[in-house]
Amino acid sequence: MTVDDVADYLNKPRGWVYGNWRDKKIPFRKVGQSLRCRPLDLDRWLDEQGTE
């Protein structure tokens, strides 16, 4: 998933995702100059976050 895909999935602005991916430990991997996230990794991360 791209940053835009993750933002849509989380219902957050793109800027929030970029601003928080390191602090919140969103499971992105660098692929060249881009950030990518596997859907399964994102779902696991969400499960670890609990409900907001």
CA dist 25 and 28 (Å) reads: 8
Q: Quick check: 26 and 46 in contact, CB under 8 A?
A: no
The model's pLDDT over 20-30, given as tens digits with 9 standing for 90+, comes to 999 999 999 99
pLDDT band at 32 (very low <50, low <70, confident <90, very high): very high
Q: DSSP secondary structure string, 3-52?
A: HHHHHHHHT--HHHHHHHTTTTT---EEETTEEE--HHHHHHHHHHH---
What's the whole-number mean pLDDT along residues 13-26? 93
CA dist 26 and 36 (Å) reads: 10
In the chain, % of residues over pLDDT 90: 88
